[in-house]
Amino acid sequence: MERKQQLAFLLSMLVLFVILVAQNFSMRGELDRLPYGEFKALVKAEKVKNVVLGEQVLWGTLLGEEVEGLVSKQTAERLRQLGPGEHPFSTIRVNDPTLVQDLEAAKIPFSGVVESKWFATLLSWILPALIFVAIWQFVMRRMGGGAGLMAIGKSHARIYMEKGTGVCFDDVAGIDEAKEELMQVVEFLKAPERYRKLGGKIPKGVLIVGAPGTGKTLLAKAVAGEAGVPFFSLSGSEFVEMFVGVGAARIRDLFEQAAQKAPCIIFIDELDALGKARGMGVMGGNDEREQTLNQLLVQMDGFDTSSGVIIMAATNRPEILDPALLRPGRFDRHVAIDRPDLPGRQQILRVHSKAVTLAPGVDLALIAARTPGFAGADLANLVNEAALHAARIGKDAVDMQDFDEAIDRVIGGLEKKNRLINPMEKQTVAYHEAGHALVAEARPNADRVGKISIVPRGIAALGYTQQIPTEDRYLMKKSELLDRIDVLLGGRVAEEIVFGDVSTGAQNDLQRATDMARHMITHYGMSETLGLATFEEPRTSLFLNVPVPQQQATYSERTAQAIDDETRKILDDAHARVVKTLEASRGTLEVLAKLLLEKEVVDRASLDEILADQSRQS
């Protein structure tokens, strides 16, 4: 139940309570219904002032003085509670032929009345019900058209009037190209005459696509905040209900509201919930979602951009949208938002740290370098985690140590201080991570090591080696991929050399190394034996890291065997190279592992010192 409906229900119950209390107070001075025998005794004792004779009930007024002995103890007690004076009463009329004679003998005035059952029912039930319904309708009108079952076909869009979004382009960082693209929408809403004068037409719809957390919704709110126009915001799932035709009705109502408040912006978040390609359902048919989509297509064709209504939508699954949504005349402008690069991450950190008290030594450029692949939402969470960590230990400002802890928490998970590891396992983890670090330092195309830790984190991570890329990379050469495979195998090879045995801790490293080697052959054509060919379909999702369903191989069994042989050859050659590297650096491996066992965390400065000492000794 929505908040408005809850409020209406509470108000209705309050009104009903007031009616009952009023009825109770109106009957407060009335004596409880008298037994007929007590009534006759009071008549003979001349304690009744007057009587009204009805067909079923007798009413009258009782003189409450000196009635002891004439009525029961309960009636006498009730009269004492009511106090002195005259009190109305009622009693059930029985077949008593002497009643009139007794009233005349006691000189009690009496009269008759014809009872109306319909009138009594009207006063006791129908009139309060009508009052209740009238108050309910009044409350519904005051609360607007979004409450109640009768308004189920109304749009549930949240309307932010003018700068009610609270966001402008200054609050959006790291996506400068997308901001410039959408600035045209802002300029059209501010000065449409400039475009109409030359015969230009602004795009009807703008579709913002990108990975989760990259700022799609934030960018749409910034457009409305910059233009200073009403902003209708809702999710694609809010159109679909269990009732047939509700989604289409809400689409029509949304566009009617937007036309009344033009110029304005309609923003539909998670468009894929509404705009999935028709016919993709398992059962097929023209279901409720397809009717809603059809209504959206019709509405987008039916309005004119000169009215000043701009439709914006966001999705991270553009590949499943219906092609009719993406054609010119509907969502004809697509704005892609990628994960921010190094300067973009630095700008985003600067925006989110405005409200945070930073220590003088905080280097946002270094933090941005240590967070490759982070989206805007990830960086906002990172700043918040750093601030929470500083507040938890009672600091006055957030320093680099807090950001280091926040990065470790976001990447590796929560530190498991209560996880007890036996000395042998801890030693294995120390040599494993030391092997990763030394191989990374020995390969020219590998990222430099920033920190080595054997502190357990998350669900299964017993340690990790954090590497800091010197720059963002969008292309990888074959030599760089081979160096990365070497780094992944460094931990397992270190266990082989030191203990003569291997553990299960290298499972994730082996999986990543195998996938990388296989992609070199099947995706990138980096095999001399198989030549310039690809053998597997790329993943279908552009922005979501979803697993690709297993598909039937499009190559022969002989080719599959050749792919397996090439993959094994790449991994075997990498293994041989790593063994040679770590055997040549056995002394450095021992020193680094012992330092990890002693301190649990080794930073870049300590690693440089170890490498320099070993270089001088050799």
User: Tell me, what CATH number does 210's domain have?
Assistant: 3.40.50.300
Predicted confidence at residue 551, as pLDDT, reads 61
How do strand 57-63 and strand 48-53 relate by DSSP bridges? antiparallel
Let me know if residue 228 belongs to a domain: yes
pLDDT one-digit tens code per residue, 148-182: 444 444 555 555 554 456 678 887 888 888 888 88
Predicted confidence at residue 544, as pLDDT, reads 66
Same-domain pairing of 384 and 438: no
% of the chain at pLDDT higher than 90: 18
For residue 90, is pLDDT > 60?
A: yes
pLDDT one-digit tens code per residue, 398-416: 999 899 888 888 887 777 6
Same-domain pairing of 330 and 258: yes
Least confident of 14-23, 456-465, 499-508: 14-23
Same-domain pairing of 516 and 388: no
Predicted confidence at residue 29, as pLDDT, reads 44
User: Tell me, what CATH number does 535's domain have?
Assistant: 1.20.58.760
DSSP 211-273: STTSSHHHHHHHHHHHHT--EEEEEGGGG--SSTTHHHHHHHHHHHHHHHT-SEEEEEESTHH
Residue 485 confidence class, pLDDT cut points 50, 70, 90? very high
pLDDT one-digit tens code per residue, 14-66: 766 666 555 554 444 455 577 877 777 777 777 777 888 777 777 777 776 66
Q: Is 495 a catalytic residue?
A: no
Let me know if residue 238 belongs to a domain: yes
Domain span at residue 522 reads 423-617
Structure tokens at 289: 């979602």
pLDDT one-digit tens code per residue, 65-74: 666 667 777 7
Let me know if residue 139 belongs to a domain: no
pLDDT one-digit tens code per residue, 583-604: 999 999 999 999 999 988 888 8
Q: From CA 547, how far away is CA 537, in angstroms rounded?
A: 12
State the sign of the Cα–Cα–Cα–Cα dihedral 412, 418, 419, 423: positive
The angle at the Cα of 143, spanning 141 to 145, to the nearest 5 degrees, equals 65
Looking at 98, 115, 132, the residue that finishes a domain is: 115
Same-domain pairing of 594 and 542: yes
Angle formed by the axes of helices 604-617 and 423-442, to 10°?
70
pLDDT one-digit tens code per residue, 343-369: 889 999 998 888 898 989 888 988 998
Q: From CA 439, how far away is CA 444, in angstroms rounded?
A: 10
Same-domain pairing of 227 and 92: no
Rounded average pLDDT over 480-487: 94
Secondary structure of residue 88 in the 3-state scheme: strand
Let me know if residue 122 belongs to a domain: no
Same-domain pairing of 391 and 368: yes
Angle formed by the axes of helices 423-442 and 478-499, to 10°?
150
Same-domain pairing of 333 and 362: no
For residue 280, is pLDDT > 80?
A: no
For residue 437, is pLDDT > 90?
A: yes
Same-domain pairing of 530 and 443: yes
Let me know if residue 24 belongs to a domain: no
Q: CA torsion, points 17, 23, 26, 32, in degrees to nearest 10?
A: -120
Q: From CA 509, how far away is CA 528, in angstroms rounded?
A: 25
Looking at 306, 321, 337, the residue that finishes a domain is: 337
Taking the alpha carbons at both ends of the chain, their separation in whole angstroms is 75
> Which of the pair, 136 or 38, is modelled with greater confidence?
38
Let me know if residue 563 belongs to a domain: yes
Same-domain pairing of 477 and 499: yes
Q: Which of 385, 433, 441, 566 is catalytic?
A: 433
Let me know if residue 23 belongs to a domain: no
Same-domain pairing of 105 and 44: yes
Q: CA torsion, points 268, 273, 279, 281, in degrees to nearest 10?
A: -170
User: Which residues does 549 contact at the CB level (< 8 Å), separation at least 6?
Assistant: none
Looking at 321, 337, 353, the residue that finishes a domain is: 337
Least confident of 102-111, 133-142, 426-435, 441-450: 133-142
> Which of the pair, 20 or 536, is modelled with greater confidence?
536
User: Tell me, what CATH number does 400's domain have?
Assistant: 1.10.8.60
Same-domain pairing of 301 and 365: no
* Domain count for the chain: 4
Let me know if residue 140 belongs to a domain: no
Predicted confidence at residue 592, as pLDDT, reads 92
Same-domain pairing of 248 and 353: no
For residue 440, is pLDDT > 70?
A: yes
